[in-house]
Amino acid sequence: MKNLTILLLLLLPEALVGQNWQVVNPEYTYFFSGDDPGLIARTVKTDSVSTATGHPLYYLNTTIQFCDTCYGPVPCFNYEFEFYEYYHPNVQGLFAKEVHQLDNGRYWFFDTVSFVIHSKASLNQSWLFDTIHNITAQISSIYWQETFPAVYDSVKTISLSDGREVMLSKNYGILGFPSQTEPEQSFDLIGMKTQTENVGVTPPGFWEIFDIEVGDVFQYAGLDGDDSFPPPNSDYYTMKVRITSKAVTDSSVTFGQHIIKKHLGLGYLNIQDITRSYYNTPTFIANQLPGTLYDICADDQGFNGMCDAVPYHLLSEMHHERSPILTDIVSIGNYAYQDDALRLVPCEEGTELMMNVMWDYGFFDGNAYASGLGQTAKRHEDFLIFDSYNLQGFVKNGDTTGLVTPDDVLLNVNEKPAGAKASLHPNPATQRVFLNIAEETEVWIFDLKGQPLFHQKFDAPTNEIDLEKYSPGVYFVKTITTQNSWSQKLIVK
């Protein structure tokens, strides 16, 4: 997300005065919010311009929608009802596929819809807006408004005879537009960009996403394995990545990474040092625009075997990552659910994304990114293996956000150092567990996902920890003294 300085925002309207109530400017990409204010739900941009009709004709970007009667390239299999459902691409977007710029400031939006915006109409002037549904429009007010933070512009309210409204500004075009499919929903302009300038809320760019420096630390909670879940072949894990080096070119960035990966149930530990490069290509998902078609098979940076069959065009959206530490960070990725940041297509409830319509299993593959955090989530799943993780916490500029586990906790799970003078009993436990110590001890309890559930210091020889609120399962107890630390499993029945 970019926010220019107030000075630049104040000066920008002067550079755009020449638009003069231009509803669609081919130099601009427009970003609209929907039900979730402040988050980009739809992108409107001009793919190409033609004058073959004798007047400027703008071809806008298309989108994708559910289709229960057609064969499309993005199938969804419904396990409950056992039939295939499809999404049909290349349909009109927020407005239409075509916009004809006619004389005297009239813009005709045409495709499966047909409506006209008279941008230069004066106060109380009326015209036929929707030629299909016979809806009329009237300029009901003209006023001066703050269209973006510290940016003011002239605005017209276009009142429609069906009770809805269109908001139009002199320098920025359409500010608000009613949904063509949901009567109660409308879309509001929250940002726009050109090749050189950004106004309001815009998606983070490649270099913003990878604004990462040596010494930054990122911790992820994940689950991987095969189709034999639960263990022995599948397990939750914590993965901690420390940036050890950084090399930058005009079109790429390469990071050295020291990785500690600890499987929490099995205790497997893997430590490695690798380098990973990201390339600033037009097809990279971090360069895609929210609410537009995205060819996942054109992106060669981490989508495994997704494209063995048909290259799918998928709907990419801007969303909040669902991790608690990212509630104020906008990340770019595929469709997000409460516990699933990387759903590729918003299939109907009870459906799974398919790789090939001839196969009867779910296939997921995707990544999410956020400004200054790089990759925040990954999801890969097919009928043989799966691996997914989400960002738990990070350290940037020495400041910690969220959960970042000390290295010794990851490196010493299930290992009790010599001289440790602490014990837990009974284990397994039910309603309570007793801690015996010989000196002041700091105690942490983590769940299998690495989330901290308990933290307290004890100094009495025998101490009781209440387990009433703990669900039956496996937990990890970390005890720290001035001399040593150790971790062990705690089983709650």
Q: Could you give the domains of the chain?
A: 6-62+97-200 (no CATH), 207-402 (2.40.360), 407-492 (2.60.40.3080)
Q: Report the sign of the C-alpha dihedral through residues 331, 42, 282, 16, in that order.
A: negative
- For the chain, how far is it from start to end, CA to CA, in angstroms? 47
- pTM here is 0.67
400: helix, strand or coil: strand
Instruction: Quote the CA–CA distance of 292 and 456 in Å, as a whole number.
Output: 49
The vertex-145 CA angle with 142 and 151, nearest 5°, equals: 140
CA-wise closest residue to 379 among 451, 303, 308:
303
* Two structure tokens written together for 304: 């495994």
Q: Output DSSP code: residue 181.
A: S
Instruction: Quote the CA–CA distance of 54 and 57 in Å, as a whole number.
Output: 9
Spatial contact of 260 and 405, defined as CB atoms under 8 Å apart: no
CA-wise closest residue to 312 among 331, 335, 293, 292:
293
Q: What is the DSSP string of 100-135?
A: EE-GGGEEEEESS-EEEEETTPPTT-EEEEETTTTE
pLDDT in tens, the chain (493 residues): 333 333 333 334 444 334 589 999 999 999 998 877 777 888 999 999 999 889 999 999 887 665 555 444 444 433 333 334 445 556 778 888 999 999 989 999 998 889 999 999 999 999 999 988 999 999 999 999 999 888 999 999 999 999 999 999 999 999 999 987 777 788 999 999 988 888 998 888 889 889 999 999 999 888 887 655 444 467 788 899 999 999 999 999 999 999 999 887 666 788 899 999 999 998 887 787 877 766 666 666 655 444 444 344 444 554 444 444 554 444 444 333 333 333 333 333 333 332 222 222 345 566 677 788 888 877 776 666 778 888 888 999 888 888 888 887 787 654 454 455 678 888 888 889 999 888 888 888 877 666 778 889 898 888 899 998 888 887 878 787 777 767 777 888 8
CA-wise closest residue to 264 among 409, 385, 444, 402:
409
